[in-house]
């Protein structure tokens, strides 16, 4: 039994006059504890694939199973609950809430997970320490560097301890030194048991990945 | 971390946007509060002026005979069998359900006595109450203050060649005339007016009252109800409402109320649109943020809660600030448009209306934007990333 099964999915965007096929008949699986890289050029369909795996973007065809659960057989609200429980997402360009502090941004997923405030504080403090931002808890995102914002985004994605971590170009906006630190952090998380699926166009970032899925023109090419 | 922390932090840390939203509410609420205050003051002003026209309820003893007078001319003799009330019963008038709508209650004693061998009509009154009811009296001289001071009607002064400072004997008591009433064309030209207690004694009617004139404020109270309430207290009395006076009072106040209501509705519609447009703009700007919320596990209801809670807080703030601003506008505006009038002061009821209206406006105008936001497809919202 695989943690994630992607069965023959396709995604077609219907424009007013044109149809764009972003994903064509993709078929693969990911096992528990893997660090999988999804590589491809800009516009190849890798981000679309990640959003489909994350339950955010319904495929035009095919199915995605997480822990044998048909993700798109669920209602929209059930998928929201699935994301809350199973999936942590690290977005491209950090995507922090600008009017919330580091601490508040990290606690966000717990605000709707029914976790008591004392427990929330313990969990948030623990992940903020893990990403090395304990001294910046009360700062707003725009008071942080790019690398620090990325760390907050990672802390937010892992605070609920989800088994799956999806990362969309997490190093895309960072210098090489910071990128390397972020990759070390993701590998640490992977070693501690989290399955990481990371989208990037930079192969150097995937040196330690257990597997790489190459995407080109909406197709898996290996 | 709770959902309300997100709403409150958004309000606290995005002040410029919230100020803009508050501005929309402020315009609506302050205009309504200012209009209500001006309308209240104008209503009060109109009422005070109308009340100067005199009493609008008269309480008299019941009589089996008909009055044979028309236009001040008595035809076929005078009914001398005058029934009276006991003075100790008069305070019962103040016990009626609508007692707060009572203005002046002016009891009087009427009786005939001889002056230079001619019959004259005496009317004993409480001068303070009587003068407040008869603002049209042209008093030439000084209002009587002592028990042995009187004022005489214009015709009485002419017939008996009396003037201010003269002394006359009524019954067994000497009275000094302190004032003569200017000609009014009414029955007051033919009477002598003196202190109630003193005339009760002079007429041997101590503790008796012939009739009571009552001024009632009739905003929000049907005058016919008050007439019935007084009649219940005085089963031997006949209570008459001077409907013309009441109707004109009610009409003036009602017309202004309708005008104010029309303006208020218009302002509420404009205010709602302003809040709606601002809220829609705010939600559209937050598409990305809502997408993130939905992606990390926020249900539709959570997104709605965040937006509606913000609307609630902004509504309360808008209500309070709008009320204070409206009061300040009214305070400056009222003396400019109504000479002699002033702002009535802070009003508990109006402040509650302002806050409830502001909150309702804010929430109703935010319902659709909140619904739209909560129904955003996370993938659509995240495409903005």
Residue finishing a domain among B193, B209, B241: B241
- Predicted confidence at residue B373, as pLDDT, reads 83
Q: Which residues of chain A lie closer than 8 angstroms to B12, CB-CB?
A: 99
**A219 shares contact with chain B (CB less than 8 Å):** no
Cβ under 8 Å to A: B residues 126-145: none
Q: How many CB atoms lie within 10 A of CB A79?
A: 22
- Is the pLDDT at A121 greater than 50, yes or no? yes
* Burial letters B120-153, b for 16+ CB under 10 A, else e: bebbbbbbebbebbbeebeeebeebeeeebbbbb
Q: Which domain holds residue B95?
A: 56-241
Q: Which residue among A99, A107, A110 sits closest to B10, beta carbon to beta carbon?
A: A99
Of the pLDDT bands very low, low, confident and very high (cuts 50, 70, 90), residue B221 is low
Burial of A58 (0-12, 13-18, 19+ CB in 10 A): middle
Same domain, B79 and B184: yes
- Is the pLDDT at B53 greater than 60, yes or no? no
Same domain, B86 and B222: yes
pLDDT-above-90 percentage for chain B: 22
Q: Give domain status of residue B23, yes or no.
A: yes
Q: Give domain status of residue B112, yes or no.
A: yes
- For the beta sheet containing A211-216, the strands, ordered from the edge strand earlier in sequence to the opposite edge, are A87-90, A164-168, A195-200, A35-39, A211-216, A219-220
- Predicted confidence at residue A78, as pLDDT, reads 93
Same domain, B33 and B101: no
Lowest mean pLDDT among A51-60, A62-71, B11-20, B230-239: B11-20
> Which pair of tokens denotes residue B205?
């009617």
Identify the closest residue of chain A to B292 by CA–CA distance. Answer: A95
Mean pLDDT, to the nearest integer, of B131-146?
A: 86
Same domain, B175 and B307: no
Same domain, B225 and B325: no
Query: B293, A113: Cβ pair inside 8 Å?
Result: no
Q: How far apart are CA A164 and CA B109, in angstroms?
A: 99
**B382 shares contact with chain A (CB less than 8 Å):** yes
CA of A54 to nearest chain B CA: how many angstroms apart?
9
Query: B13, A104: Cβ pair inside 8 Å?
Result: no
Q: Which residues of chain A lie closer than 8 angstroms to B379, CB-CB?
A: 51, 56-58
Same domain, B65 and B158: yes
Query: B297, A51: Cβ pair inside 8 Å?
Result: no
Mean pLDDT, to the nearest integer, of B56-82?
A: 64
Phi, psi of A21 (to 5 degrees): -95, 110
Same domain, B359 and B301: yes
Lowest mean pLDDT among A5-14, A53-62, A156-165, B81-90: B81-90
> Mean pLDDT, chain A, as a whole number?
90
CA of B15 to nearest chain A CA: how many angstroms apart?
10
Q: How far apart are CA B90 and CA A59, in angstroms?
A: 89
**A92 shares contact with chain B (CB less than 8 Å):** yes
**B374 shares contact with chain A (CB less than 8 Å):** no
Strand runs (DSSP E) across B148-280, as ranges?
149-152, 167-170, 173-181, 191-195, 208-209, 211-216, 237-241
**A60 shares contact with chain B (CB less than 8 Å):** no
Same domain, B203 and B114: yes
Identify the closest residue of chain A to B376 by CA–CA distance. Answer: A76
Query: B296, A108: Cβ pair inside 8 Å?
Result: yes
Q: Give domain status of residue B246, yes or no.
A: no
Mean pLDDT, to the nearest integer, of B51-78?
A: 64
Of the pLDDT bands very low, low, confident and very high (cuts 50, 70, 90), residue B385 is very low
Of the pLDDT bands very low, low, confident and very high (cuts 50, 70, 90), residue B350 is confident
ipTM of model: 0.90
Of the pLDDT bands very low, low, confident and very high (cuts 50, 70, 90), residue B384 is very low
- Is the pLDDT at B307 greater than 60, yes or no? yes
Q: How far apart are CA B377 and CA A15, in angstroms?
A: 17
pLDDT-above-90 percentage for chain A: 59
Residue finishing a domain among B218, B241, B264: B241
Q: Are A157 and A89 in contact (CB under 8 A)?
A: yes
For tokens 């190849």, the residue is A44
> Mean pLDDT, chain B, as a whole number?
82
Q: How many domains does chain B have?
A: 2
Q: Which residue among B289, B294, B378 sits closest to A97, beta carbon to beta carbon?
A: B289
| Spacing of C-alpha B338 from chain mean position | 16
- Predicted confidence at residue B33, as pLDDT, reads 87
CATH of A32-58+72-220, one of 3.40.50.300, 3.30.470.20, 3.90.550.10, 3.40.50.360: 3.40.50.300
Lowest mean pLDDT among A138-142, A203-207, B4-8, B299-303: A203-207
Query: A77, B2: Cβ pair inside 8 Å?
Result: no
Same domain, B149 and B259: no
- Predicted confidence at residue B51, as pLDDT, reads 58
Burial of B377 (0-12, 13-18, 19+ CB in 10 A): middle
Same domain, B112 and B207: yes
Summarize pLDDT for B109-129 with one digit per residue, the tens: 998 888 888 889 999 999 988
Mean pLDDT, to the nearest integer, of B297-326?
A: 92
Same domain, B39 and B154: no
Same domain, B228 and B292: no
Domain borders along chain A are 32-58+72-220
Query: A111, B9: Cβ pair inside 8 Å?
Result: no
Residue finishing a domain among B193, B211, B241: B241
């Amino acid at each position: 039994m695989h943690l994630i099964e992607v069965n023959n999915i396709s995604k077609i965007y219907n424009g007013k006059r044109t149809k764009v096929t972003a994903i064509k008949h993709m078929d693969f699986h990911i096992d528990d504890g893997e660090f999988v890289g999804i590589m491809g050029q800009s516009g190849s369909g890798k981000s679309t694939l990640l959003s489909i795996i994350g339950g955010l973007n319904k495929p035009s065809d095919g199915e995605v199973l997480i822990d044998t659960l048909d993700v798109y057989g669920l209602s929209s609200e059930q998928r929201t609950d699935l994301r809350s429980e199973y999936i942590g997402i690290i977005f491209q360009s950090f995507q922090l809430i600008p009017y919330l502090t580091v601490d508040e941004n990290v606690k966000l997923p717990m605000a709707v997970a029914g976790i008591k405030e004392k427990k929330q504080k313990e969990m948030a403090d623990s992940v903020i320490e893990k990403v090395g931002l304990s001294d910046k808890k009360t700062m707003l995102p725009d008071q942080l560097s790019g690398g620090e914002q990325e760390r907050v985004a990672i802390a937010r994605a892992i605070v609920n301890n989800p088994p799956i971590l999806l990362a969309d170009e997490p190093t895309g906006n960072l210098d090489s030194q910071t990128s390397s630190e972020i990759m070390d952090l993701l590998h640490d998380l992977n070693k501690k048991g989290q399955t990481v699926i990371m989208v990037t166009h930079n192969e150097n970032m995937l040196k330690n990945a257990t597997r790489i899925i190459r995407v080109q023109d909406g197709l898996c090419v290996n | 971390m709770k959902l309300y922390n997100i709403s409150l932090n958004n309000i606290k840390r995005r002040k410029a946007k919230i100020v803009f939203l508050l501005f929309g509410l402020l315009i609506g609420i302050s205009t309504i509060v200012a209009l209500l205050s001006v309308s209240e003051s104008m209503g009060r002003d109109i009422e005070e002026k109308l009340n100067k026209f005199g009493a609008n309820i008269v309480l008299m003893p019941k009589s089996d005979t008909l009055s044979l007078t028309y236009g001040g001319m008595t035809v076929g003799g005078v009914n001398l069998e005058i029934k009276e009330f006991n003075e100790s019963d008069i305070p019962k008038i103040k016990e009626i359900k609508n007692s707060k709508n009572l203005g002046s209650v002016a009891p009087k004693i009427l009786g005939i006595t001889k002056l230079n061998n001619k019959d004259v009509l005496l009317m004993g009154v409480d001068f303070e109450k009587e003068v407040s009811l008869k603002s049209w009296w042209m008093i030439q001289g000084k209002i009587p203050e002592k028990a042995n001071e009187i004022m005489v009607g214009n015709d009485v002064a002419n017939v008996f060649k009396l003037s201010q400072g003269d002394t006359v004997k009524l019954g067994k008591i000497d009275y000094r005339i302190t004032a003569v009433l200017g000609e009014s064309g009414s029955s007051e030209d033919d009477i002598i007016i003196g202190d109630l207690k003193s005339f009760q004694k002079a007429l041997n009617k101590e503790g008796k009252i012939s009739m009571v004139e009552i001024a009632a404020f009739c905003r929000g109270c049907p005058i016919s109800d008050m007439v019935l309430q007084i009649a219940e207290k005085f089963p031997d009395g006949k209570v008459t409402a001077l409907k013309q006076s009441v109707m004109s009072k009610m009409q003036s106040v009602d017309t202004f109320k309708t005008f104010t209501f029309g303006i208020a509705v218009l302002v509420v519609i404009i205010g709602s649109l302003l809040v709606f447009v601002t809220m829609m703009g705010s939600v559209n700007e937050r598409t990305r943020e809502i997408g993130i919320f939905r992606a990390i596990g926020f249900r539709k209801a959570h997104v709605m809660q965040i937006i509606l809670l913000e609307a609630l807080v902004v509504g309360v703030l808008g209500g309070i600030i709008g009320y204070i601003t409206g009061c300040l506008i009214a305070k400056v505006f009222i003396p400019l448009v109504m000479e002699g009038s002033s702002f009535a002061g802070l009003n508990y009821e109006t402040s509650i209306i302002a806050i409830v209206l502001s909150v309702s406006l804010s929430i109703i105008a935010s319902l659709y934007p909140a619904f739209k936001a909560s129904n955003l497809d996370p993938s659509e919202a995240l495409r903005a990333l």
